[in-house]
């Protein structure tokens, strides 16, 4: 799988040196689609300016997220009291089952700016849970946004950060507005079976 990096880069002696990797994209076309959409909405913006804006946007979010404590992250046996959604299942209730079959468990997903389940194109979103790791080189694995009525899957290709209990990703440009389920599909390393975890909440995509 190819990787596309949104970062502060310097060109010198014919080589590109990356100061800090912020966003990794498994689909070069996705970045191009976002840039084309930005240019179509503003006749005065150039492709170079759009790329710079994307790099700055992703870099700023990464710095902010690194500076803030993960107060809403589900860790240990309970969810922090800063997050008041009683619908989130407690991690400890499923721990014993996960030791036998490591099915991804998705607890909550939030817009990092509004801290709600309402998102727009280009929004950065944090997904929390358990056993969220997956093989990016396998097209069948990853994060998928499933349209609630049509059940059509939309794979997320732009990932900011991937950890076992926290994934940060960007909502793709051009995603039709509506209500979406979020699924994480990961293959079991022992059996090779594809396991799916689904977010209990609905994500609302608006324009």
Q: Tens digits of per-residue pLDDT, 157-205?
A: 999 999 999 999 999 999 999 999 999 999 988 888 999 999 999 999 9
Phi, psi for 85 (deg, rounded to 5):
-105, 105
pTM: 0.57
Q: Tens digits of per-residue pLDDT, 33-66?
A: 777 777 787 777 888 887 777 777 777 776 776 6
Q: Is 162 exposed, middle or buried (0-12, 13-18, 19+ CB in 10 A)?
A: middle
CA pair distance 64, 95, nearest whole angstrom: 31
Q: How many CB atoms are located within 10 Å of the residue 134 CB?
A: 20
Q: Which domains does the chain have, with CATH numbers?
A: 4-67 (no CATH), 74-81+89-205 (2.70.50.70)
Question: Which segments of 13-82 are extended strands (E)?
Answer: 15-25, 74-75, 78-79
């Amino acid at each position: 799988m190819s990787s596309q990096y949104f970062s502060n880069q310097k060109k010198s002696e014919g080589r590109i040196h990356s100061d800090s990797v912020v966003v990794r994209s498994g689909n070069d076309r996705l970045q191009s689609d976002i840039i084309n959409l930005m240019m179509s909405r503003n006749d005065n913006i150039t492709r170079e300016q759009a790329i710079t804006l994307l790099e700055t946007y992703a870099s700023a979010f990464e710095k902010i997220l690194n500076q803030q404590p993960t107060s809403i992250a589900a860790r240990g046996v309970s969810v922090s009291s800063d997050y008041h959604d009683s619908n989130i299942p407690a991690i400890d209730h499923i721990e014993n089952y996960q030791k036998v079959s490591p099915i991804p468990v998705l607890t909550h997903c939030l817009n990092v700016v509004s801290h709600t389940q309402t998102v727009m194109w280009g929004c950065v979103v944090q997904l929390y849970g358990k056993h969220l790791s997956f093989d990016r080189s396998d097209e069948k694995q990853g994060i998928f946004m499933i349209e609630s009525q049509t059940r059509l899957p939309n794979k997320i290709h732009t990932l900011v950060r991937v950890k076992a209990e926290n994934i940060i990703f960007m909502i793709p440009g051009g995603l039709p507005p509506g209500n979406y389920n979020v699924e994480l599909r990961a293959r079991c390393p022992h059996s090779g079976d594809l396991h799916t975890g689904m977010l209990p909440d609905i994500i609302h995509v608006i324009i």
